[in-house]
Amino acid sequence: MSEAAPSRLDDYLDVFVSPTALFTRRSDGKFGQALLVVVILSAILFFATKSAMAPIMDAEFTKGMAGAMKANPNMTPEQIEAAKKFGTMFAPIFILIAVTISPFILGLVIFLVTKVVGGALNYAQGVTIATFAMFPRLVDSIVGAVQALLMDESKLTSRYSISLGLGRFLDPATTNGYLLALLGRVDVFTIWVTVLIAIGIKVIAKTSTAQAVAGAAIVWLIGALPVLYQAMRQG
């Protein structure tokens, strides 16, 4: 008897245990169901971990408002409170929109970077790699929320407080913002995402290991741009 063809459920297991097999199977560039799964699970995890993550969200808001007040010293306490209420009310929508469009943006970056390093894949394949590379972020959400529940609330001063990386050991109040933004990306889950991107490029674009690693490293650097921009705005 012939072996049964892998099901879609195998994709969600293989992204963690056998990404090479996953990307070999999904070189067809079909990512729709996987993206839907990521969006749904992200929504569930957001609401499930909302209370645990509230101190960190408050700390990040306060830091953001401090930067905004530097740029606009005329902001009143009423305006700050209104901004906080607006952000709290629409945070779920903003997050789900970000989760939905991120694979398309990251997929475009992967598509272009792969060409730069000498590989060849189409845009849909780039989005496929990006979509499956987001799955470790679901684990990141769970691990972060568990830490937030167990830690002293006074120590939850930024998103780096629950990072499994270098950012955890840096004081956001005294560390240079640009340095924190860069070193903050040296963490277990960001590296895991980057490794998945490298494997996806190697398997789907049929590049050498060196080309795939170079491509993923460039994607990692490009991924630092938004946090560097945020650091610049916060002064």
Q: Does residue 3 form part of some domain?
A: no
How many Å apart are CA 144 and CA 185, to the nearest integer? 15
Helix (H, G, I), strand (E, B) or coil at 187: strand
Express each pLDDT in 37-74 by its tens digit.
999 999 999 999 988 998 888 877 777 666 666 667 67
How many Å apart are CA 53 and CA 57, to the nearest integer? 6
User: 83 versus 23: which is more confidently predicted?
Assistant: 23
| CB neighbour list of residue 181: distance below 8 Å, 6 or more residues apart | 224, 227, 228, 230, 231
Q: At what angle do helices 77-116 and 32-71 cross, to 10 degrees?
A: 130
Q: Does residue 2 form part of some domain?
A: no
Say what the pTM is.
Answer: 0.87
**Percent of all residues in the chain with a pLDDT value above 70, rounded to a whole number:** 89
Distance in Å from the first CA to the final CA of the chain: 65
Mean pLDDT for all residues in the chain: 88
Q: Assess whether pLDDT exceeds 60 at residue 5.
A: no
Q: Does residue 141 form part of some domain?
A: yes
Q: Does residue 100 form part of some domain?
A: yes
pLDDT for the residue 65: 66
Q: Does residue 216 form part of some domain?
A: yes
152: region left, alpha or beta (phi > 0 left; psi from -120 to 50 alpha):
beta
Domain that holds residue 123: 8-234
The gap from C-alpha 97 to its chain's centroid, in whole angstroms, comes to 13
Q: Does residue 228 form part of some domain?
A: yes
Q: pLDDT class for 107, splitting at 50, 70, 90?
A: very high
Report yes or no: 26 and 132 within 8 Å, Cβ to Cβ. yes
Q: Does residue 1 form part of some domain?
A: no
How many structural domains is the chain composed of? 1
Q: Does residue 191 form part of some domain?
A: yes
Q: Could you give phi then psi for residue 56, rounded to 5 degrees?
A: -70, -40
